[in-house]
Chains A and B, each alone.
Chain A
Amino acid sequence: MSGFTNLNSSAGYSQNSTPNGGAAPPYQNGPVQTYPAMYPPAGYYGAPPQQQGYSTIPGHAAPAPNKAPVTNNAHSANYYHNNHQQQQNHLPQHRVAPSPYSAPLSSAPPSQPYAALPSAAPPPTNAHYNQQPFQPHPPYATPGSYYGQQSYHPSSARQHPSLVPVTASGPGAPLYPIVSYPSAPGSSQYGTLSSSQSTSAPVGMPTQMVGAPLHQYSAAPPPSTTAVQPGYGVGPPGQTAPTVVNGQGSAAQNAVHQHYTQSHQASLSYDSYSGVPPGSGGADTDQPPSGTPSTSVHSSPGHHQGGDTSSSTTGSASPVPNSYDSLEGGSYPDSMPPSNDMTNQAAPYGSYGYPSMQSAYQQGPASHTDASPSHDLYGQSGYQQYSQPFPNLSQLSAALGGLSGVPELEVEALRPVNLLQERNLLPPRPLEAPEPNVSSDLKKVNCSPQTFRCTLTSIPQTQALLNKARLPLGLLLHPFRDLQQLPVITSNTIVRCRSCRTYINPFVTFLDQRRWKCNLCYRVNDVPDEFMYNPVTRSYGEPHKRPEVQNATVEFIASSDYMLRPPQPAVYLFLLDVSHNAVEAGYLKYFCESLLENLTKLPGDVRTRVGFLTFDSTIHFYNLQEGLSQPQMLVVSDIDDVFIPSHDSLMVNLKESKELVKDLLTSLPEMFSQTRETHSALGPALQAAYKLMSPTGGRITVFQTQLPTLGVGALQAREDPNQRSSAKGVQHLGPATDFYKKLALDCSGQQIGVDLFLLSSQYADLASLACMSKYSAGSVFYYPSFHYIHNPAQLEKFQKDLERYLTRKIGFEAVMRIRCTKGLSIHTFHGNFFVRSTDLLSLANVNPDSAFAVQMSVEDSLADSSLACFQAALLYTSSRGKRRIRVHTLCLPVVNQLSDVYAGADVQAITCLLANMAIDRSVSSSLSDARDALVNAVVDLVSAYKSNVSNLQQSGLVVPASMRLFPLYILALLKQKALRTGTSTRLDERVFAMCEFKTQPLQQLMRLVHPDLYRLDNMSDQGALHLNDTVVPQPHLLHLSAERLSRDGAFLMDCSNVFYLWIGKCCNEMFIRDVLGCPNYASIPPNMVSDSKRCIYVSPSMSGNDRE
C-alpha cells in the first residue's frame, strides 16, 4: 500500500523538481511541514488555562478594541475557535445539538466520516484514509495530548461541526459553528496545524515523499536524490508507529540507531520543555510528527542496511526539533485543490527530509557516519563541496575581501566606449546583471539578482566617492517573487544577531564553534545549542552547514514570537461597480466567470472567507450564509453614514458557502443588466468594505469603471483634454483629495490591502484613486477604454490578468525590514507600502508581482570592512495561516576606487531607480523638472567619468562599457508614457504608467522601457539552447531602430506585457504560413490577436518599414 503511494510520490517529485515547472505557483507556501513541538511556547497555546484566558479576553487580539462588540465577537470567533472547543469539552451538555444546528450538520456530510478530523481532510484524502484503516488512532491521539490532559474522544469530536459555543454572545452566536469549527478541528490556531497533521498522517506519507526529494541542500543533484527515493519509500509497511515513538523499541536496528535514540530522547526532552507533560502524553505528542514518517526513517536504514551507512545517518535525524525543509516553490499543480495541499503540508516532515539530504553527502566517503564534532571532518573530501572554510577565520576574511578580483570582467566593464563611434551597443543576448566582484564562494551563495539587486555592485567606501561617481546607490527588490526552489526552515530558535536582529546568513563569520560575528553590525553572538546541531550529519559542531548558512534566500516558519495575533485566515472581499457605466463596459460577466473558474484555486485553506459588495448610488451587501437557499441582497442606501447590516453572514467561509457563492456569481451579471443608475458611491462603499474587513484584515479588490460621484471621496474631472500634449507641464498628477490615502492608511493599520481594477473609458482620476492601493500595499490594474465587444484586446488582457491575480500567491499582515551594514542607511523607499519606520515597511498584503526600490546613502565610511551586506526580511502570514519569514541577503564588495565603482555599475538597476525617483519628482514638482534631471544625470555621469577616470584624451561621448547603455535607456525612459511630453497622453494612462514604474520588478520594467527586438524569420540553430530534446534558438537582440527592420523579415518585439509581431511586406510566405496559418501576406487579418499568455498583436506592415 504505502509502497504504491511512495511510487506515486516519487513520480510526483521528479515532475516537480524539474526546473521548468515555471507555472505560477499559487501554492508555494503550502507544503509546510510543521512540527508541533516546533512551537516552543506550546504551553502558551496548549495549556488549557491560557486558552481560557483567551476566551475571556477577545479584545486581546482584536485589532481595534473600541469597535462594536459584535465585531469583536466575530473576530474572536474566527481566531479562537479553540475557545469553543474548550468550552465544549468543559460543558458537555452543549454537545446536544439543538435544532438550529441540524442544518450545518446535514449540510456538511463530508466531515462526518472523519470524526475527529472534521474538515481538514478533503474528500480526496478520504479515499486514502479509508485505504489505511490500520492507522486511525494516531490522528486524534495527537490533538488530545497536545491540548493537555483533557480527554478528547473521537465521539465527542465528531459532533463538533454541529456545536454551538454558549459563551458566544450577541446575534452572531448561531453562526459560529459555521465559521469556526471546520477551520479549527478541535484546536487552537496551532491546533489547526497539529490536527491537520494528524489528519493527514496516513496520507501524509505519499505527499511527504513529494516533499522529501526537494531537500536539496545546495550541491545535492536532483537525479541522485531521485535515485534514493524509492529506497526508503519501500520500507514503511514493515514498521509501526509505536516502535518509532519509543525509539529504543525498534528491534532490528543497526548501530546507527544508537544515534537515533539519542536524538530522539533529545526531542522528548524538548517536548517537556514545550509545556506538554512528559510521559505518555509527551510520547503521544511526539508521535504524530515523528510517528508516521519515522516508520520510513527506520525503514530507510533497514533498506540500505547493507549499502551505504550514510543514509541512516541522515535519516535518523528526524525527531530532533531542528528541521529543515527544502521545498520547491510552486511545485504544486494548479489543479490540486487547496485542501489537498493542506494535507500535504500537514505531512510530518522531518524524517523524510533528512534522507534526501544524504544524497548530497553520498558523494563523500560513507564513513563519516560517526560524525563527531571534530574538525577532522573538514578535511574529508565529501565536504569539499561546501567550500566555505568555516573554522579558519583568517582564511574566511581573506576570501571575503573581494580581493581576488576578476580582472577580465572588470577590464571589460571599464573599457571606455565612445558613443559617437560605436553603433552596436546592445549585447547579443538580453543584458544580465553584473556579478559582484567577490570571491567565488560568496558568489555561489549570493542572492539571485532577480530578487535582490543593487545599482552599484561595488559599494563606494564613502559618500564623497559616491558623489564623485555621480551614480545613485540603491536596491531593487522583488522579495516575494515566485521561486522555483526555496529552503524552508522550521526551527525553534531562529538565530539572529542580538543587537541588530539580523538573521544568520551565509555571509556571517564563524569565529569558532560557538560564536559567530554578525556581518551587519559586527557584534559577536553565541551560537545556540540547537543551531550547533547539524541534522545533515546528525552531529554537533557544524553550524556552518545549516541551510541558513548555505543559502542567501531562505524561509523560516516563524513561532508565535513573530505574531501580534494569531495568523489571520485568507479573506477576500470583492467590491464591484454595478452602475450603468459598468454594465455597459460588461466586465461583470467576465469577472464572475473568471472567479467561478478559479474559486478553488484562490489561495487559502479551510478558513478562507469571501464576501461581495456591489455599489452604484447605493451599496448592496450579499448574505451568503450557509443554509440559505439563495443569496440575499441587502441594500444600504444611506451612503452618508454607512453601516453594516449584518456582521457575520456577509463574509462567509468559502468552503461552506461555496454553492451560494456560485449562485451569486452566476446570477450577478444578470441582476444589474437593466440598471439605469449612473452614479457611483465608491467612497462609502470602501468605507463599508473597511468596516467589514477590519476585524480580520485581508484583501479588498475594487472594480471601478468611472469617476466616483457620490458621498465621501467624490471626485471632479480635472483633466483638460486639450492640454494632453502640451509640453508645458502636466497638472494633476497628485491626488485631489486625501480621502483615499487616509482610507488606505486605516486599511493598512487593520492589515487590509486594497487592489484596484480600473476599467474606465473616461477620465476616472486614477491619480486620486490609486492612493487606496499605494499606501495599503495593493496593486493597480488599468484597462483604458475597456469594452467587452469593442475592445477585445483589453478584454483578453483583463481575463489573463484576473486569472493570475486570483490564483497568485498572497501573503497577509506582512512587514518587510531592510537592514544594511553599519555605515549605510536607507534614504527613500519606492513602491506600494506604508513606511512605518526608517527601515520598516508595512505591507498589508504582499503579492509575488510587486517590487520595491530603495535609495541608500553612505553615512559613515565603510573603510573598516571589505564587504557590505543588505538583508531584506519579509515577515508574512501565508494563505494557509502560517507565519513565515523570507530572508534575502545580498553581499557586495566595498571599493575605494572610482574605476571599481564604475566597473560594478548595474545600468539596468540604475535606470529603474532613476525612473522611480523621476516619478516622485514629477508628482511633487513637475514633469519637466524630472525630465531635465534625468538628462542631467546622464550628462553628469559622462563629465564625471571623463574628468575622473578616463585618461584617454579622446573627444566625443566616452562612458565606461558597463554604462554604455545608460544614455539609451534614459532616452527610452523619456519616451515612456509616464514621462513623455509633447505626445497626447491621457492623464490616467500617464498616472498608471507611473504606478507601474513604482511597482514592477526590474526585468519587466526594463523590457517596458527598452523592449527586446528579435528577427524571427531567419533563426538558426547556432548557439541554440537544447532543452529537453527541443532546440530553442537564441536570436540576437536588435537595436530598436528602423534600420534594423527590413521588408523581407518578421520581427518580434517583447514589451514585457505585450508582444508585437511585425511582418514585413515581402516576408517569406512559408514563414507566414507556418507561423500565422495564413497563406500569404495579404491574407493576414488586421489586428490579429493571439490567445497566448501574453497578447500578441500582429500588425501587418502595409507600406514597408515605417509601420509599427
Chain B
Amino acid sequence: MAFTFAAFCYMLALLLTAALIFFAIWHIIAFDELKTDYKNPIDQCNTLNPLVLPEYLIHFFFCVMFFCAAEWLTLCLNLPLLAYHVWRYVISNFLHPINYETPAGSLEPAFLALGCRYMSRPVMSCPGLYDPTTIMNADILAYCQKEGWCKLAFYLLSFFYYLYGYVFHFRICPSC
C-alpha cells in the first residue's frame, strides 16, 4: 500500500489550499479595488459574499479529513483558523469579545470605543459577511484587508507544509 489515507489527505489539502490561496488573493484584490474607488461596494459585496461560505467549508472539509486520518499535529495547526471562521460567521453575533474598555493611560483614546463594531455578521438574507453599507468604514476596510493578507500567508505556509506532509507520508509508507 503505497498510498496511505494520510497521504491522500495531504494531497487533497494541497489542492484545496491552492484554491484557497486564490480565494485569498481575490479577497485582497477586491478590497484594494474598494479602497481605490474602482468598484461600487454593492457589486463588490455581491461578488464577495457567495465566496465566504465555500471558503469556510473547504477549510472545514480538510480539517475533518485530517481528523479522520488522525493527523493531530496538522489538525492542531488548523484549529485556530477553524475557530476563527466559526467565530466570524456565527458566534460574533452573540458575543462581544472585542471590548474597547480603555483604562486611563492606555494609548487608545476612550472615545474610540464609540466606533462601530463591525465584526459581527450583519442581518442578511443571503449568506455572506459583507454589508455594502458598512464596508466602506475605514476600520472594517482595514480589518478585511488585514484579514486577507493574514489568510494568504497562512494558506501559503500551509501549502508548503502539506506538500512536505504529502511527500513525507508517501516516503515513509511501509512498502516503499
Contact = CB atoms under 8 A, between A and B. Distances in A.
Contact of B118 (A741, A836, A924): A924
A918 to B, nearest CB: 5
Nearest to B115: A917
A209 B110 CA distance: 57
A926 to B, nearest CB: 7
Contacts of B99: 929
A826 interface: yes
Contacts of A826: 138
Nearest to B99: A929
A675 B29 CA distance: 56
B138 A937 contact: no
Interface string B18-58: 00000000000000001101001110000000000000000
Nearest to B102: A936
A467 interface: yes
Contacts of B105: 943
Interface in A789-829: 825-829
A840 B41 CA distance: 11
Interface in A900-949: 914, 917-918, 920-921, 923-926, 929-930, 932-934, 936-937, 939-940, 943
Interface in A77-119: none
Given A738-B122, A936-B102, A749 B42 contact: yes
Contacts of A470: 109-111
Interface string B130-143: 00110011110100
A471 to B, nearest CB: 8
Contacts of B175: none
Interface stretch (A165-173, A511-519, A564-572, A729-737): A729-737
Contacts of A52: none
Nearest to A468: B109
B38 to A, nearest CB: 9
A838 B141 CA distance: 10
Contact of B101 (A742, A828, A932, A937): A932
Interface residues of A, number: 47
B72 interface: no
Contacts of B35: 838
B119 to A, nearest CB: 9
Interface string B111-128: 101111110101111000
Contacts of A471: 109, 111
A737 B123 CA distance: 6
A930 B111 CA distance: 9
Given A825-B138, A840-B37, A917 B117 contact: no
Nearest to A918: B114
A735 B136 contact: no
Contact of B37 (A749, A837, A926): A837
A777 to B, nearest CB: 12
A936 B116 CA distance: 16
Most central of A467, A739, A835 by chain B CB within 10 Å: A835
A302 interface: no
A775 B133 contact: yes
B104 A736 contact: no
Given A472-B111, A934-B114, A837 B123 contact: no
B147 interface: no
A739 B126 CA distance: 11
Interface string A824-858: 01111100001111101000000000000001010
Interface in A994-1036: none
B140 to A, nearest CB: 9
A38 interface: no
Interface string B50-73: 000000000000000000000000
Nearest to B34: A837
Contacts of B136: 829, 835-838
B101 A741 contact: no
Given A745-B133, A835-B136, A933 B118 contact: no
Contact of B111 (A737, A739, A937): A937
A819 to B, nearest CB: 13
A456 to B, nearest CB: 13
Contact of B133 (A739, A835, A923, A926): A835
Given A470-B109, A926-B96, A914 B114 contact: yes
A829 B136 CA distance: 9
A741 B133 contact: yes
Interface string A843-876: 0000000000001010000000000000000000
A1008 B20 CA distance: 52
B111 A828 contact: no
A943 B96 contact: no
Most central of B102, B111, B124 by chain A CB within 10 Å: B111
Interface of B: 34-35, 37, 40-42, 96, 99-102, 104-105, 107-111, 113-118, 120, 122-125, 132-133, 136-139, 141
Given A837-B37, A937-B111, 20 more contacts: A470-B111, A471-B111, A472-B111, A738-B125, A745-B132, A749-B42, A828-B115, A829-B136, A835-B136, A836-B41, A838-B136, A838-B138, A857-B138, A917-B114, A918-B114, A921-B114, A925-B96, A929-B100, A939-B110, A940-B110
Interface of A: 467, 470-472, 734-739, 741-742, 745, 749, 775, 825-829, 834-838, 840, 855, 857, 914, 917-918, 920-921, 923-926, 929-930, 932-934, 936-937, 939-940, 943
16 contacts: A472-B109, A472-B111, A737-B123, A825-B138, A828-B137, A835-B133, A836-B136, A840-B37, A855-B115, A929-B100, A932-B101, A933-B113, A933-B114, A934-B114, A940-B104, A943-B104
For the complex of A and B, the 4 pairs showing the least CB-CB separation, nearest first, are: A917-B114, A936-B110, A933-B113, A940-B110
